[in-house]
């Protein structure tokens, strides 16, 4: 039996109380977190501490000092932040790679995902009470028919809980489901043909026809097109200088830099498109370098929904009800790949910060080449076997 009086040091303080301390396995002196009314109580405390050291040695486990145990007890007793509060703070304080706050549209997207998919399950739960089984059950309950939404929701939950680890609210994140964070498969997009592009442009209002041609042949994002101004058209070199983009968060349009640093670029206009843009500048754009190329009714930025309503009629006229406006950018990228643009050239033209997306369009061009090869083989059935 361990005798506490043979371990550690006890000294009487001027107040008459007793202070106990000992040299731990780490060779540091550790004081009792409190003083004692009697020497016997100090002896009991030393006895228990010696017993903890001996037990840790027998079990081959890490020994924790009195100070560490007191801190753990303090943290356990402290009120824990609720997931909803932590998530809202995470969005407000999140910074990009440049240390800048998230863009308004990105914050809007995060809050929408948070409110729709995460808050109903985790919102009022303390962060440290969320377990792996909780996360697995939540993920299993999500609609499997919307894989992209499931992936975005899982990715947001993972990021928020990782920040909880960084903030020392939890020791480890419970968000670990194999394959759940993989990018969802995008819906297949059949690019528009040059003929279909022309039909759609002809069926847009005259003041918006050039916008569709720019989207399809120059592969600009909608936010980049909606913010184009007269000064962004390099008449001498037949180029579009992409320097800004507009987003539409609640509260009104917000103009800022393009989606990434790579988004700042000069895009050459195909020769057959230039006369259309030139005529548009003469007919539909007000004088002055800051005049918008495609303003809304109130001369401000045209919201995506307004452009979309006109595009819906135009795509129907071309028999392409499956197309979305963003698919015009996909079309422009694929057409550029078909005429031989390299990955680096596509990356620069599209304003992508990585080559991954550009390679997708090259794969699409290779698929088209396979279709051409298949059609060539069909000639055998029409003309007979070739002579040798």
Q: Which residues are catalytic?
A: 221, 326, 329, 352, 361
| Contact residues for 317 (Cβ-Cβ < 8 A; gap 6+) | 199, 200, 202, 203
Q: Are the C-beta atoms of 18 and 35 separated by less than 8 Å?
A: yes
Q: Are the C-beta atoms of 262 and 352 separated by less than 8 Å?
A: yes
| Contact residues for 332 (Cβ-Cβ < 8 A; gap 6+) | 215, 216, 217, 218, 219
Which H helix or E strand runs over 234?
strand 233-234
| Contact residues for 43 (Cβ-Cβ < 8 A; gap 6+) | 4, 5, 10, 20
- Taken as a whole, the chain contains a residue count of 388
Burial of 16 (0-12, 13-18, 19+ CB in 10 A): exposed
Chain centre to alpha carbon of residue 162: 14
Chain centre to alpha carbon of residue 361: 21
Cβ neighbours around 182 below 10 Å, total: 11
């Amino acid at each position: 039996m361990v005798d506490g009086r043979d371990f550690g040091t006890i000294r009487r303080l001027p107040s008459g109380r007793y202070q106990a301390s000992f040299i731990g396995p780490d060779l540091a002196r550790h004081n009792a977190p409190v003083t004692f009314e009697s020497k016997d109580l100090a002896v009991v405390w030393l006895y228990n501490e010696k017993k903890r050291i001996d037990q840790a040695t027998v079990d081959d486990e890490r020994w924790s000092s009195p100070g560490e145990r007191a801190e753990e007890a303090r943290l356990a007793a402290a009120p824990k932040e609720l997931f909803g509060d932590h998530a809202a703070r995470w969005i407000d304080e999140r910074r990009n790679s440049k240390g800048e706050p998230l863009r308004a549209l990105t914050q809007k997207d995060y809050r929408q995902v948070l409110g729709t998919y995460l808050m109903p399950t985790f919102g009022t739960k303390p962060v440290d009470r969320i377990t792996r089984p909780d996360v697995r059950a939540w993920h299993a309950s999500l609609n499997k028919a919307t894989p992209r939404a499931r992936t975005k929701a899982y990715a947001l939950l993972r990021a928020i809980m990782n920040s909880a680890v960084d903030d020392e609210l939890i020791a480890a994140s419970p968000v670990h489901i194999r394959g759940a964070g993989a990018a969802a498969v995008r819906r297949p997009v059949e690019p528009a043909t040059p003929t279909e592009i022309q039909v759609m442009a002809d069926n847009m209002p005259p003041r918006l026809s050039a916008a569709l041609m720019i989207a399809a042949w120059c592969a600009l994002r909608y936010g980049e097109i909606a913010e184009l101004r007269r000064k962004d058209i390099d008449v001498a070199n037949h180029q579009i200088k992409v320097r800004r983009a507009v987003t539409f968060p609640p509260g009104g349009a917000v103009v800022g830099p393009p989606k990434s640093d790579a988004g700042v670029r000069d895009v050459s206009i195909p020769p057959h498109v230039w006369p259309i843009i030139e005529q548009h500048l003469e007919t539909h754009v007000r004088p002055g370098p800051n005049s918008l190329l495609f303003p809304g009714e109130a001369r401000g930025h045209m919201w995506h929904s307004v452009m979309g309503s006109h595009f819906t009629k135009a795509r129907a006229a071309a028999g392409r009800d499956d197309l979305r406006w963003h698919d015009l950018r996909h079309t422009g990228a694929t057409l550029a790949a078909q005429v031989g643009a390299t990955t680096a050239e596509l990356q620069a033209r599209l304003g992508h910060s990585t080559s991954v997306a550009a390679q997708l369009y090259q794969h699409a061009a290779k698929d088209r080449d396979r279709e051409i090869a298949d059609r060539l083989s069909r000639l055998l059935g029409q003309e007979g076997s070739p002579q040798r």
